[in-house]
Amino acid sequence: MQCELVMPRGIDAAELPLGGAQAPLQLVTLTNSRGTEVKLSDLGASLVSIHTEDRYGHLDNILLSYADPQHCLDNHWYLGVTAGRVANRIGGAKFSLENREFRLPANDGANHLHGGPAGLSTKRWTLVQSESGAAGQSVTFRCESPDGDAGYPGNLVVELTYRLGEDDRLTLEYSATTDRATPVNLTNHCYWNLAGRDGILDHELVIYAEQMLELDSQLIPTGKLLDVAGTPVDFSRRKKIGLDIEAWPGGYDNFWVVDATAEKRLKPIATLTHAASGRSVSIASTEAGVQFYSGNFLDGSRNRESGSPMQQYAGLCLETHGFPDAPNHPHFPSVILQPGEQYRQTTIYSFSAE
């Protein structure tokens, strides 16, 4: 295996063969005494699956996962991956920094999305640390992105630790350093479906935000903030996702602003609930807000782990990160990482069954 670390007792490591000359996926599974199981992959430091109990004690995978592992290699839906160097969109696939323009690959029309077609989500990360103890289990992945990678300046070193606690909290801790000024804005792009089947329109969502970013027709921020109160994008109180989605053409794919300051403090971001199963996941993060994407472009062309097609609204993303397109909006909180600084992000998923 690529992972040469000796895993502590209780942490399972395995290989998943792929076709052709592709190296097998390196899989790591974290578990706790509640029966929660988190499966991770070295490809994109990905969340492959999360199995949790419902109110009746039944285990289901509450993430969308590919039935065919080959689709992990052509993961244009970004299932479960670490997106970056810059998550979300950069308008015009370019930005200026220190009096120089940097051009990036355009992989979303004229724009740059989730770090481009060869971003961090496509790289094989190295497993560098693993721990297992009374408080839970954890593993740490590392990725080195060279200067000029996908058009970005600076040699960037990123580490991501996944920690599953006995309290049923999954903590993601990101850190990064660079030797040149460069934008860094990371997130995980997993798709939630707390039912483990069907779609997400019957899920209920709270986003602890009163504003969102205004977007143009290409989903690029205009620079303005909009109040959400009384609109179809008002999730400040628990609401079924399907209630107003038809009034928001194309479905939800927007950034809700929880904290417009540059201060990184841990705070509640969102809570997703599924009444029939009793499951809920509460999300806290140090990030400025969350991109809620309702799975609008899922088209049934690929099957989920259960074998059924992943149709539109089969799953939803709640991507915690800084303001999208921030390098092109000087009044947005900065996502520029300088040499000598350390990028840090903490995002926590807390699971429960009511």
Report the catalytic residues. 189, 319
Contact 267, 285 (CB under 8 A): yes
Q: Any idea of the CA torsion for 59, 65, 70, 73, to the nearest 10 degrees?
A: -140
Instruction: Name the 3-class secondary structure at 93.
Output: helix
DSSP 293: E
Q: Which of 175, 201, 199 is nearest to 186 (CA)?
A: 175
Residue 207, classified by CB atoms within 10 Å of its CB into exposed (0-12), middle (13-18) or buried (19+), is: buried
Instruction: Name the 3-class secondary structure at 51.
Output: strand
Token readout for 317 is: 């993303």
Contact 181, 97 (CB under 8 A): yes
DSSP 101: E
